Amino acid sequence: MLRNRFQDIMQHLRFDDRSPRSDQAKTDKFAAISSVWGSFVTNCITCYNPGLHITIDEQLFPSKTRCCFLQYIASKPDKFGIKFWVACDLKSKYICNVFPYLGKDPNRPSGERLSENVVMRLMEPFLDKGRNVTTDNFFTLLSLAQKLLRRKTTILGTVNKSRWEIPQSARHTDRNEFTTQVFSTSAATLTANAAKRKKTVYILSSVQSVVQTDNTTKRKPNTVAVYTTTCGVDVMDQMMREYTVRRGTRRWPVAVFYNMIDMAALNAHVLYQACTGTKERRVDFLVELARELAHSHVAGKKARKEQLLRTQPSTPSPGKRAMCQVKHKCKNNHATVGCVHCYRYTCGKCRLQIPWQCQDCE
């Protein structure tokens, strides 16, 4: 593809109908790309059956485009971007469900927290099947654990020390190093582990009813050991950043489209390995995927060029000479005869003797 052609496509790239856009934007902030995004998410949910462990976290796609839901997170490397809530499979890093954060949702119940609403929306297609969901301290709540247990789903995640679920007796900051304290209810178990002095980690789990510590010096409880092995969204984000199609843009729908392509490419690699049973490097798969996607365009372009060459006369007009269209051994020689296979005008340096044909058709 020519550079000017690519720039022309990117300049006019749109994902919706322009006429009703203003009316849709009043009720849907994501209207400029919501139809395409909805199809993508539906395919992600229906094309793969995730394992028993699903992780939920946020993803900040780097962007400084002008939109009303752009986020600033100081703890992230890129600071500014569009935030997505992501649920991915722990083992394969397949993106099972995802939706963007667009600000305050008017459809969210008044008494329900944002974190609880996000987890239930992401896990809705995968509930009632005995799965476990791993979250960080932003999402983990006792009420969420109780709600998930009613849908045959367990939760494992860290808890913020300011949550009301943590008892007053567990809020001590002067714990001895490598000590563990356990609190349990009918729905979940809270583990307070001091891996370092004056640094306590709180983990809420509805998976393990009994908490045990190992025999090492650190005496790490099993809830902490399981949690450290069930974090997948950060790895997924790192894999997407390694091979990305993202480039500079001032339009937020195009930025979302770049993120969607990266997610689709990651999911395609997982599906390819699951369906064929072969292990292939992701970079090799992406190169072959790009070639196959461009094959129809390249083949059509080649067919149109051949048709154009077939329509031109076998020899130039009397008294005139054409330019060599092969340029295999010459720079810009004149030609009077066409190749018998590809119909391109060929000079004496770029032809074979009998029959008259160019070097490329040898």
Q: Convert the pLDDT of each residue in 218-276 to its tens digit.
A: 888 888 888 888 776 788 888 888 999 998 888 999 999 999 999 999 999 999 999 99
Question: Encoding tokens for residue 232?
Answer: 């997948």
The pLDDT value recorded for residue 39 is: 95
Distance of CA 203 to the CA centre of its chain: 28
Q: At what angle do helices 233-242 and 252-276 cross, to 10 degrees?
A: 100
Question: Encoding tokens for residue 47?
Answer: 């094309």
The pLDDT value recorded for residue 289 is: 93
- Asked if pLDDT for residue 172 goes beyond 80, the answer is no
The pLDDT value recorded for residue 123 is: 93
Measured CA distances, 25 to 18, 44, 64, 159 (Å): 11, 25, 20, 37
- Asked if pLDDT for residue 130 goes beyond 70, the answer is yes
Distance of CA 356 to the CA centre of its chain: 53
The pLDDT > 70 percentage for the chain reads 98
Task: Report the pLDDT averaged over residues 285-297.
Answer: 91
Task: Report the pLDDT averaged over residues 42-50.
Answer: 94
Sign of the alpha-carbon torsion through 275, 277, 278, 280: positive
The pLDDT value recorded for residue 182 is: 84
Question: Encoding tokens for residue 302?
Answer: 């080649």
Residue 74 is classified by DSSP as: T
Helices and strands, number each (H, E), in the chain: 9, 15
Sign of the alpha-carbon torsion through 217, 223, 224, 228: positive
Question: Encoding tokens for residue 106?
Answer: 């008017």
pLDDT in tens, 303-317: 888 888 888 887 777
Task: Report the pLDDT averaged over residues 207-228.
Answer: 81
SS3 state of residue 293 = helix
Q: Which amino acid is at 281?
A: R
The pLDDT value recorded for residue 109 is: 85
The pLDDT value recorded for residue 248 is: 87
d(Cα 193, Cα 96) in Å, to the nearest integer?
32
The pLDDT value recorded for residue 356 is: 66
Of residues 301 and 352, more confidence is placed in 301
